[in-house]
Structure 1
């Protein structure tokens, strides 16, 4: 009987690792789906969609693991960031704040999802919208600090143009996540 429990624990652990790796890959693919809309060089991508979907689906621990895997792959030189960029130097460039915010936001949004008793579309939308706003806020502040442009300009170029699109992505997450969470069906511990 103890062996059955070990087998089940191992299969759940493997499932979590596979899903974390899958979401890391989806985030990388999402980085290539981009629309450059601001003169400040910050494109609209599907990265944030997959970052937040990973967080609410996998929870704080495995959602965060998927983000860390994605970032490590990019930092060691694989071209997985927006525009096919890679390397540690990207953290210090204009879009670095968006990238490092992914870790904190995945943890917070995943934690909120873990705690949510009712994982319905409205709840998942709210968590995704909160996460999107945090990503945009941190990214905009970093954009201003890394380029020495006034914070108002950084906010206007790094937050405002993306807000509506990110809310649309949050609605999509609200619609997709509840079914995906049921399909995945494991606790996020």
Structure 2
């Protein structure tokens, strides 16, 4: 079985025998966009961060590990396109602006990084790493590092290089690692339940 033509991720495996596969995939993309949008608005206190954080990265990690690379990337592309067309799906919208104007602001680098993070996490799932929390966590960590780097560099471009670490990385690294660990544990656990039911 070639990983280039067949994903081993959870969601594609569930619908692989369906006669309406494309409809299922379309519904999964719509569900994913809605979940990411909702999670971007949900703020929870997460120690040691003094301010509440959103559940957006947790949702993206979990969805991507369940969806595989192609479906994860399609979902993030649809999410970004939805925001670009002015829908209030991003954190801080509509209060801080909408559409492309918002995406060109301080969070623009992170938004672009989300797509790469999702694709890498989904790629790990394509190769079966989503059954092992440590392998999956390692892939997520690479995606997280790329996303934070892109976000921090864009922040530095907008506000000066001295803000790269203080504004672009520092406020997010610890809490994102906590969310990464949670996501890395969720999908293998779901796989275990799925395997027992089969």
Please report the TM-score for the alignment, with normalisation by the length of structure 1.
Answer: 0.80
What do you get for the CA RMSD once the two structures are aligned? 2.7
Matches within 5 A, 1:72-111: 72-85=81-94, 86-111=98-123
Bigger fraction of residues in helix:
1
Q: Residue in 1 aligned with 2:71?
A: 62
Please identify runs of 4+ aligned residues in structure 1 that moved more than 6 A: 182-185
Matches within 5 A, 1:107-126: 107-117=119-129, 119-126=131-138
Query: Residue 27 of structure 1: CA displacement?
Result: 0.6
Query: Residue 73 of structure 1: CA displacement?
Result: 1.2
Query: Residue 98 of structure 1: CA displacement?
Result: 0.5
How many residue pairs get matched? 173
Query: Residue 65 of structure 1: CA displacement?
Result: 0.9
Query: Residue 97 of structure 1: CA displacement?
Result: 0.5
Q: Residue in 1 aligned with 2:149?
A: 137
Q: 1:72 to 1:184 in 2, by over 3 A?
A: farther
Q: Residue in 2 aligned with 1:32?
A: 41
Write the distance in 2 (CA, Å) between the matches of 1:54 and 1:84.
Answer: 22
Q: 1:67 to 1:180 in 2, by over 3 A?
A: farther
Write the distance in 1 (CA, Å) between the matches of 2:19 and 2:61.
Answer: 26
Q: 1:49 to 1:61 in 2, by over 3 A?
A: same
Give the match's secondary structure for 1:81.
Answer: coil
Query: Residue 9 of structure 1: CA displacement?
Result: 4.2
Structure 1 unaligned spans of 5+:
1-6, 37-42
Q: Deviations over 1:66-86 (max 9, x none)?
A: 111111111111111111243
Structure 2 unaligned spans of 5+:
1-15, 46-51
